[in-house]
Amino acid sequence: MSKSQLMSSLSEATGMSKKDVSSFMDKMVELAYKEVKANGEFVLPGIGKLVKVQRAERMGRNPATGEQIKIPAKKVVKFRVAKAAKEAVL
């Protein structure tokens, strides 16, 4: 489903205009980014949560040469699916 299809579907389901739905979604995304950056997580009830995780330094391999390389530690964002979403889909 494309973004415009999603906005149309939500607009029809809620009775809001497409412009209002699009604005709401944009603000929710901004809020999610801000919350993950500040607090480390953002929860979408019934769907899941975005979580900021610190990855440890590790050893890896260059696939072209087979040479071992050190992969530095870094922060990443992961999405953890809620139990309710898993049960509904599976």
For residue range 6-62, list pLDDT tens digits in order: 999 999 999 999 999 999 999 999 999 999 999 999 999 999 999 999 999 999 999
Domain boundaries, the chain: 1-39, 41-90
pLDDT of residue 83: 95
How far, in Å, CA of 18 to CA of 6, rounded?
10
Q: Strand locations in the chain, DSSP E? A: 41-44, 48-55, 58-61, 68-71, 74-81
Q: pTM surpassing 0.85?
A: no
Q: Quote the DSSP letter at residue 72.
A: P
- Over 51-67, what HEC string results? EEEEECCEEEECCCCCC
Cα–Cα distance list, 54 to 5, 22, 41, 80 (Å): 35, 32, 13, 15
61-82 pLDDT per residue, tens: 999 999 999 999 999 999 999 9
Please determine, looking at this structure, whether the domain spanning 41-90 carries the CATH number 4.10.520.10.
Answer: yes
